[in-house]
Structure 1
Amino acid sequence: MNFWGQLGLYDPASPIQEEMILFHDHAMVLLLGIFSFVCLIGMKLLFNKFSSRTMLEAQTLETVWTIIPALLLIWLALPSLRLLYLLDEQNSSMIIKSTGHQWYWSYETPVGNFDSYMIPTDSLNFGEYNLLEVDNRVMVPYNVNTSVITTSADVLHAFTIPSVGMKMDSVPGRLNFMNMYLNWPGVYYGQCSEICGANHSFMPIVVEAVNVKEF
């Protein structure tokens, strides 16, 4: 994990997360530019000694400050729409279903069905992450398009893996799905991102990407 990842942006492990980080940088450039411009104009107005008591209209100025923000919004909207369409794209070779419970996840995969519980702190092995390790990991082949379907058996949950760019609401009686494509092998951690009860913090998600031959 790099310096920026420690501030909240994980190193991307999927094309979608790469696009999200690019869009984040794109939006930050726009926001910082607007903030700097507003601060500059504010300072100019504070120290400006000129005044005009006769000016009633400034049509040219109104036209400029209408057109420029519209162009900036278009500059922000176009990559946002592209990212939304990429998120909706479905081209999967494998399907995994995840069901949220209070407070664990259950999975239905091509190789079998199982429940996944968090490993207690006193049962962790050396090098394992506290509150993030589970007894049964989800095995997924990398470089293979995989659809993840999620729902809930009781209350609202959220299936979230930040480094993969995946966050879906798990709603009782409803199926939500996203495409997941992992670039390389590794272990990717996530957690339920919807406050679902007293043990909300104790239902982690662990996906392990392996070679398709090992899978």
Structure 2
Amino acid sequence: MKKIFAGATALAAFFTTAVAFADQPRPWQWRFQEAATGIMEQIEWFERYTLWFIIPITLLVLALLGWCIFRFRASVNPVPSRTSHNTLIEVIWTVGPVVILLFLAIPSFQLLTAQYTPPEEPKLTIKATGNQWNWDYEYQVEEPLSFNSALLADDARAAAGKEDLGVFPRLLAVDNEVVVPVDTTVRVLVTAADVMHAFAMPAFGVKTDAVPGRVNEIWFKAKKEGLYYGQCSELCGKDHAYMPIAIRVVSDAQYNTWFTAAKTDLNGANKALMAAVDGNRNVAAAGN
């Protein structure tokens, strides 16, 4: 019995880890993806915080509307009031919203400041250029690495070793993922080569427009290893829906190995990295 329980615990831990350490859109999803960065955690907190104001205000307005409809309907109030001034009511509906807006504005500005203020100087800078309908990435280091990332065609899955739709979903999987090290502040310079696009990664809490002739800057610091998916979020033409973004977060050692190999053989480096990640997953599944 103890062995069965230990095996079940290890298996449960594996699946829990698989879900927690990567995220992607889910069918009928109505909440945020699981946060993978500190900024996304702050966004989730702010959303819960605002609901403490939004829900009571919505219920209050609904109740007042219902009361007015019932209390002042024509059948019971044939002669309407001609009141044009009430100092107390005017003070309440002026001061009340101002106080509420202050409670919303202060944490909102704090979050906005954090989104544009990295906690440290970014250790890695990547330029992302949106095209109709794919992304060009350039690692801006001493020896730059550049590659294109496009939607993975169904007939190319086998050759790429990406046949598992659970890990590489249809319409989200790409041929070449962006690879970054975990717990590292990454700067992303976002622009476009033709029309407006938008670089969005929900689990990281980042989203910015890609505008031709302009460079916008965002940053993230992923705290969990895994494969994360986003999409272009600006209507950019007929294939806008087929312009995914995929970022793979790995350990420092895995990133360094991948980057060194990718300079001469990107496909080989990607496959080697996938094998290393799958190997770690198999070890976790075995409970070792």
TM-score, normalising length: structure 1: 0.91
Q: Give 1 or 2 for the bigger CA radius of gyration.
A: 2
Give the CA deviation at 1:44.
2.6
- Residue in structure 2 matched with residue 7 of structure 1 by the alignment: 30
2:252 aligned counterpart, secondary structure? coil
Deviates most, 109-118 or 84-93: 109-118
For structure 2, the residue ranges without an aligned partner over 5 or more in a row are 1-18, 21-25, 158-162, 256-288
- Of 107, 112, 121, which aligns to 2:145? 112
Equivalent residue, structure 2, for 1:42: 65
Matched, 1:126 2:164: yes
Aligned-pair identity in percent equals: 33
CA shift at 1:201, angstroms?
Answer: 1.5
Code of the aligned partner of 2:62: C
Q: Which runs of 4+ in 1 moved over 6 A?
A: 49-52
Deviation at 1:126, TM superposition (A): 2.4
Between the two proteins, the alignment pairs up a number of residues equal to 214
Q: Secondary structure at the match of 1:196?
A: coil
1:14/1:163 contact within 8 Å kept = yes
**Matching of residue 202 in structure 1 with residue 232 in structure 2:** no
Q: Deviations over 1:106-139 (max 9, x none)?
A: 1111461111111112333123200111111111
1:178 positional shift: 0.7
Q: What is aligned with 1:97?
A: 127
Q: Distance in 2 between matches of 1:126 and 1:23?
A: 35
3-state DSSP class of the match of 2:67? helix
Structure with the bigger percentage of strand: 1
2-side partners of 1:157 and 1:54: how far apart?
A: 54
Distance in 2, matches of 1:13 and 1:171, equals 26
1:29 aligned residue:
52
- After TM superposition, list the pairs within 5 Å mapping 1:45-60 onto structure 2: 45-48=68-71, 57-60=85-88
Distance 1:56 1:108 in 2: 65
After superposition, what is the alpha-carbon deviation per residue over 1:27-54, rounded to whole angstroms, capped at 9, x for unaligned? 2221111111112222332343789958
SS of corresponding position for 2:234: coil
Query: Match of 1:88?
Result: 116
Pick which of 89-98 and 122-131 moved more: 122-131
Structure 2 letter corresponding to 1:45: C
Alignment of structure 1 residues 140-179 onto 2, 5 Å? 140-179=180-219
Greater CA drift, 143-152 or 192-201:
192-201
Structure 1 gaps, min length 5:
none
* Conservation of the 8 A alpha-carbon contact between 1:98 and 1:108: yes
**Aligned partner letter, 1:33:** P
In structure 2, do the counterparts of structure 1 residues 167 and 53 end up closer, same or farther at CA, with 3 Å as the change threshold?
closer
Asked if the contact 1:121–1:131 (Cα under 8 Å) also holds between the matched residues in 2, the reply is no
> Is this contact kept in 2: 1:152–1:173, CA < 8 A?
yes
Letter in 1 for 2:69: L
Query: Using a 3 Å threshold, how does the CA distance of structure 1 residues 212 and 63 change in structure 2: closer, same or farther?
Result: same
